[in-house]
Chains A and B, each alone.
Chain A
Amino acid sequence: MPQLSINGQSYFTDSPPDSPLLWVIREDLRLTGTKFGCGGGYCGSCTVHINGQPVRSCQVKLGDVDSNTVITTIEGLDPSDAHPVQRAWIEHEVPQCGYCQSGQIMQAAALLAANPNPTTAEIVQHMNGNLCRCATYSRMVTAIHRAAQLAREA
């Protein structure tokens, strides 16, 4: 039975190796914060971190990862749900329906990990693959700048 390491915990799944990681995470392991939007790599709702990189989990097969792969989902981004991006998201009330937001937050957190002080142009480039049908875009940009500031203050 394949073993996975997600958010520092071990999980087992009986899904076949060609299953998209997204569905294993959501439906087998019930970490439902990671969302299904398109299944084709177009929307970013399913974004998780794999070895620190933002990855569309709908495009990764279960067989492509193993217990040495470090997988982080929205549930494990911060032990008390207080990652600077999450705090900034609440402060600026970014989410509307909220469905895309786990993916947005994971994508934004990966940006700040690599680039602690991004310009607006860098933010736009990095976030452009994440769709938000409620179009919460402008607050996201503001909140990412704010998160960068919160991280610096910490």
Chain B
Amino acid sequence: MGDMKTPRQGMTRRDFLVRSTVVAGSGFLSIGLPGLIAAKDAQAAGTPAFTPSIWFTMTPDGKTTMHIVKAEMGQHIGTGLAQVIADELEVKWADVRLDTPLESVANFAVYGLAYTVNSGSITTEFDRIARAGAAGRIALIEAGAKVLGADAGDCIAKESRVIVKSTGKSVTYGEILQKVTIDRKFAYPNDFKGIALKSRDQYSLIGKSVASLDIPAKTNGKAKYGIDVFLPNMAYGALVIPRTRYSSKVVSIDDSEAKKIPGFIKAVKIEEALGKCTGWVVAVADKYPTAMKAAKALKVKYDAGPYAALDTPTLLAQYKDLAKNEKESAAWVLEGDVDKGLSEAEKTLEMEYTTDMICHATMEPLNCTVQMTNGEWHVHIGTQSTSFARMTLTGYLATVLKKKPEDLKVFVHQYLVGGGFGGKQDYDDILAAAWCVKEVGRPVKLIHTRESNFATSFARTPTYHKLKAGIRDGKLVAMNQDIVCGWMGARFGVGKKYGSDWLQLDSVDGRNQDIDQWSIGGSDHWYEVKNHRVRAWNHETTTWAVQASALRTVSNSYNIFVVESFMDEVAHAAGRDPLEFRLAMLNGKGGNRGIPNSGYAPGTPSDYYMDRLWISLPWASENSWPNYESATVGGALRLANCLRVAAGKAGWGTRRLPPNTGLGIAVTAAEERQSPTWVAGIAEVTVDPATGSYSINKLTIAMDPGIVVNPKNVDAQIRGSALWGASQIMSERLTLKNGGFEQSNYHQYQPIRLAQVPEIDVTIIASDHHPSGVGEPASTIVAPAVANAIFNAVGARVRHMPISPDAVLEAMKKAKA
């Protein structure tokens, strides 16, 4: 190591280059990919602002800018990622800045897929960016040693300084960059493996609640979201609410009334392509209130399409029928022999569960601003994936303008995201705005009204579940879960049937059926059950009719409600305490002990998650990053530990509770089996037996996410997601009627408000293991914990989410009968 004259030939795409380039008399240190830097050297000469690095750029004034491709949508992810890099780089935190690269074809080749989803940012980036930071530190120490005339082995780095241990002499990073040119290569894979990452006791920033860099601007109006964009000569667009959620066709538009409104420009019928913007008409005007008024004044006639009569009860009835047809199912979990296990059981339990739709309802409605200038399309938006935004618009324009994708120049400018939750990864709005731009010849800012935002929601599918349990000797010996719902992956082309094997899994029953794990995940729990089977059915009509999509924790959001409610039912049927019953099965045996590392294992889900998606270009095309520890290490034993902590703190089995009050338990290892975050929760709920209404008094939550980068932010995410869970069990409900969503604004669709907020006791169990995501998992456990608490309070078992007071009353009556 340390050969600064290594020629650049023979480098692979994954070698790190740490170089400083001389720009206007001052050096920049950057860490990036060789091809990129070589190609850009010429440019650098006259451009002081040039930042050729993929992860960070350090300037001679000592400032270091971290380049963050993850969307900032409430999780303060830029701060978290920067903490990891800065810790290894040994840069002063006060000198750290953040920026966001522009999304373009060229930058995509450098940064890879810009996509923020699945609580995966820290989990998937941690090892890589830690190594990037460490590589920078090593190069700086070597260069600093030269400047100081010392031996690199005698030098350490601390607070943006290289210090000679034996003499105490030191030089700042900034001074080093001014004095020498660094050209240091880290070859893949050996030099990478040779980078010694810090051990946990050496961390100076990881594990500290440093103040998040995005927060001050969010208290004074200076924070810029997509909706805050202005472009010269910009017009505004407001959507006419289509007749159905999906697949209506515009037959005619009568704009005679709209034309009387001063400032109205045009009613634009959006050209449909790629199954987007079906039945969309946008009123374009010089001001937004005018556009809203005009949208109301337009009289649009529709062919209402195939879903015109569809409603939620019809869907649920169809699910139940579909589940009778075993041939159509695909197995997702298959362990032991479930049928045999059930037939040998002393007692069996069979229950049906259903869940309603919910939607994201982000406080910032969907919006975007599109401009076409000098042959370039520029999109301004706050989105979870600038990459998908660019790709979708490119594909759309290629289709509707009959051009080659490679001839289209599309750029996406990222802004703060005013709430994501999975709801900002669809791009109908960009396509519509782009088509408006083409029609009116001006930049267009398209903003959904709250009503059009609800009407075009991407819903969490309704679901139907049938569960069977076999109990023998007080133990759960066999479990079957059948799930019918819309498969959200279909809209993204997941599955052979939809022409793509991207992220597609095969069923495990040898029948070579598609499985969309995003619609089923969570049913593959960490309890030891010798005979366990999960079968799934795709109700395709749902997928399209409600535009089924991912919401915070995706399918865990309903499956954990079902699995954990049912586990309590089984415990009660077996005559056992729900806590003790769970702990006995969370024994970390067999497949539930976790796997040792993140390595590539063809045919396993880790293949899909780690290599194809998260470790995205340019890394994805080659085999694998050096293995790092899997988040699954420790397995179900870590979950059992969380459960003990939460149950102990909540006083499970030790407290005298007020009348009509109960405690309820739930656990989860969301998000995926490959990236679990271990969480247990106890809800304390009081029910009014006269009305069935209930209130959550307290939530006690214990989470083990492995290494905790920023405890205060983790705490915020746990609280926020726990209340998301409380909200979805108490009050959120989206329903379909005549092919459209019934709820139009927050008076009908009701997220949790302050008065409903319970006390929340959060325990973060920071273990030494690879970090896992924290933004979602706690949202899954609240619904089942509340359902179980209601049962323990008044004996009412409600097998539907959300739980309404009427349903509690009815279940109480049933229990008495």
Contact = CB atoms under 8 A, between A and B. Distances in A.
Contacts of B365: 36-37
B509 to A, nearest CB: 40
Contacts of B251: none
Contacts of A18: 289
A137 B757 contact: yes
B221 A16 contact: no
A77 B222 CA distance: 13
A25 to B, nearest CB: 11
Interface in B219-237: 219-225, 227-228, 230, 236
From A28, A33, A102, name the one whose CB has the most chain B CB atoms within 10 angstroms. Answer: A33
Interface string B72-113: 011110000000000000000000000000000000000000
Interface in A118-154: 124-125, 127-141
Given A135-B720, A136-B720, A128 B755 contact: yes
A86 B215 CA distance: 11
A54 B363 CA distance: 19
A89 B221 CA distance: 13
B419 A99 contact: yes
B218 A27 contact: no
Interface string A92-107: 0111111111100100
A60 to B, nearest CB: 12
Contacts of B416: 97-98
A16 B262 contact: yes
Contacts of A133: 361-363, 419, 421, 751
B755 A20 contact: no
Contacts of B222: 33
Nearest to B212: A93
B230 to A, nearest CB: 6
A133 to B, nearest CB: 5
Contacts of A141: 754
Contacts of A39: 449-451, 745
Contacts of A38: 450, 745-746
B218 A98 contact: yes
Nearest to A37: B363
Contact of A31 (B221, B418, B447, B760): B221
A41 B755 CA distance: 18
B553 to A, nearest CB: 15
B724 A93 contact: no
Size category, B interface = 35 or more
Nearest to A92: B712
A138 B757 CA distance: 8
B450 A37 contact: yes
From A73, A95, A99, name the one whose CB has the most chain B CB atoms within 10 angstroms. Answer: A99
A45 B223 CA distance: 14
Contacts of A94: 219
Interface residues of A, number: 59
B363 A132 contact: yes
B324 interface: no
Interface in B753-793: 753-755, 757, 760
Given A23-B288, A42-B746, A139 B716 contact: yes
Interface string A46-82: 0000000000000000000000000001110100010
B210 to A, nearest CB: 10
A97 B552 CA distance: 14
B188 to A, nearest CB: 37
Contact of A90 (B215, B262, B363, B724): B215
B219 A134 contact: no
B719 A138 contact: yes
Nearest to A33: B221
B216 A90 contact: yes
From B73, B217, B716, B757, name the one whose CB has the most chain A CB atoms within 10 angstroms. Answer: B716
Contacts of A73: 221
B363 A95 contact: no
Given A38-B450, A135-B723, A74 B220 contact: yes
Interface in A1-38: 15-16, 18-20, 23, 26-28, 30-38
A111 interface: no
A93 B219 CA distance: 10
Nearest to A123: B754
A34 B363 contact: no
Given A15-B289, A27-B288, A93-B712, A99 B221 contact: no
Contacts of A30: 230
Contacts of A135: 719-720, 723-724, 727, 751-752, 757
Contacts of A96: 74-76, 716, 720
A86 to B, nearest CB: 5
Contacts of B225: 35, 99
A105 B720 CA distance: 18
A96 to B, nearest CB: 3
A131 B746 contact: yes
Nearest to A78: B220
B287 A19 contact: yes
Nearest to B209: A93
Given A34-B221, A96-B716, A135-B724, A128 B363 contact: no
A97 B419 contact: yes
B227 A36 contact: yes
Given A16-B262, A97-B420, A89 B219 contact: yes
A40 B451 CA distance: 10
B363 A131 contact: yes
A79 B149 CA distance: 51
A81 B219 contact: yes
Contacts of B607: none
Contact of A32 (B221, B288, B290, B720): B221
Nearest to B762: A138
From A38, A131, A135, name the one whose CB has the most chain B CB atoms within 10 angstroms. Answer: A135
A136 B217 CA distance: 16
Nearest to B449: A39
A86 B420 contact: no
Given A132-B363, A134-B419, A95 B215 contact: yes
Given A16-B262, A39-B451, A81-B216, 8 more contacts: A27-B236, A74-B220, A75-B221, A97-B417, A98-B217, A99-B364, A137-B757, A138-B757
Interface of B: 73-76, 211-212, 214-225, 227-228, 230, 236, 262, 287-290, 361-365, 416-421, 447, 449-451, 712-713, 716, 719-720, 723-724, 727, 745-747, 751-755, 757, 760
21 contacts: A18-B289, A20-B289, A23-B289, A27-B288, A35-B363, A35-B418, A36-B227, A40-B746, A74-B220, A86-B219, A86-B220, A90-B215, A90-B219, A93-B215, A94-B219, A95-B219, A98-B214, A99-B418, A131-B363, A135-B719, A136-B716
The 8 A-B residue pairs with the shortest CB-CB distance, nearest first, are A33-B221, A98-B218, A99-B418, A96-B74, A135-B723, A97-B74, A42-B746, A81-B220
